[in-house]
Amino acid sequence: MEFPEPHIHPPREKHTHTAIFLHGRGSNGPEFCNELFTSLTTNLKNLPDSLPSWRWVFPTAKTRFSSRFREDQSAWFDVWSIDNTEDQEELSVDGLRESVSYILKLLADEIERVDGDASRVFLCGISQGMATALWTFLCAAGQINQPLGGIIGFCGWLPFSHKAEDLTRRQQALELLHQNGINQSLIESSKLDNKRQMSKLFRDIIADPNLPEIDASTDISILSTPVLLSHGRDDPVVSIRLGHQAYRILKHLEVPTEWHYYSGAEANGHWIKEPQGFDLIIEFIEKQLHRGA
């Protein structure tokens, strides 16, 4: 089964930028677009009103059989438990491989639409969509050789984060040895820096033969893309602990990452708080646009 055609909300003015928004499990592109665009900022504007020259791309995930719920549902990947993300995590691998490959192609297509300038393309997602966006970002080294405009994620997590944290602990131990001047030969024998090691870890998990090998020459400039992560403290679906875990991993990699949290959002907390969360999106985007000016 192929991925459905993305839902496109065209720009109202001359096209300057693109945002790709990934929905959560059980949703789809058109539904997510409608939900997102009915929410307003403090200025009583929705996202297209606030950014009229932007093209909005809402992909739809494949329909997959849920091992946990024993039914077909729209999902970027299968997952057994979000409370204990390590439980039967191997179920996620096939879907992550397919979805990451698909989103990388969408990114390449949208970058081409804006004259090859990746800084004019933003990748965003909520819940499982955030998880997929982060995975795509961490697997993109060598595929996209410049930073994106930004990554924006709400109410999500990073699948296989325990493996990433294991790697960060090993990296921190080596850094401590380096600071103390101990075992210098061991440190120097590591040919990959922290970002390349992390990208290789995620690539190795999904084992996509279409992605090139990560080595010391791989361009990792995309991993300097600014990231905004935000989460509801009262989120009953994805614990804020998991969102903060993703933030810590990105900070260890020295990815420029902002972390925000809130209470009282719709959907019992598993949504973007209105209007503060939408103000945050606009503020983050404007900050990146000024950075690139």
Strands of the sheet with 257-262, listed across from one edge: 7-9, 54-58, 17-22, 121-126, 150-154, 227-232, 257-262
DSSP 88: T
- What is the spatial distance between Cα 205 and Cα 198, in angstroms, rounded to a whole number? 11
- Residue 177's pLDDT is 67
- Residue 188's pLDDT is 45
**Who's near 290: CB < 8 A, 6+ residues apart?**
none
3-state helix, strand, coil in the chain (%, to 5): 45, 15, 40
pTM for the model stands at 0.94
- Residue 207's pLDDT is 95
- Residue 189's pLDDT is 42
How many residues make up the chain in this entry? 293
- Residue 140's pLDDT is 97
The pLDDT of residue 227 is above 70: yes
- Where do the domains of the chain lie? 7-160+217-292
Q: Which amino acid is at 4?
A: P
- Residue 5's pLDDT is 98
- Residue 191's pLDDT is 43
- DSSP three-state, residue 126: strand
- Residue 193's pLDDT is 86
**Residue 205: pLDDT band by 50, 70, 90 thresholds?**
very high
Report whether 288 contacts 256 (CB < 8 A): no
Average pLDDT for residues 207-218, to the nearest whole number? Answer: 92
Report whether 259 contacts 183 (CB < 8 A): no
- Residue 237's pLDDT is 96
Mean pLDDT across the chain: 93
Report pLDDT digits (tens) over 7-47.
999 999 999 999 999 999 999 999 999 999 999 999 999 99
Residue predicted with more confidence, 86 or 114: 114
DSSP 164: H
Beta-strand runs (E) in the chain: 7-9, 17-22, 54-58, 63-66, 71-74, 121-126, 150-154, 227-232, 257-262
**Residue 84: pLDDT band by 50, 70, 90 thresholds?**
confident
- The CATH class of 7-160+217-292 is alpha beta
- What is the spatial distance between Cα 248 and Cα 267, in angstroms, rounded to a whole number? 26
Token pair, residue 249, equals 């991993």
- What is the spatial distance between Cα 283 and Cα 293, in angstroms, rounded to a whole number? 15
| Percentage with pLDDT > 70 across the chain | 94
- Residue 184's pLDDT is 54
What stretches of 153-264 show up as alpha helix (H) in DSSP? 161-179, 184-188, 194-206, 240-252
Q: Point out the least confidently predicted range of 41-45, 80-84, 204-208, 250-254.
A: 80-84
Report pLDDT digits (tens) over 252-289.
999 999 999 999 999 889 999 999 999 999 999 999 99
Report whether 57 contacts 19 (CB < 8 A): yes
Total Cβ atoms within 10 A of residue 275: 16
Looking at the chain, the number of H-run helices and the number of E-run strands are: 9, 9
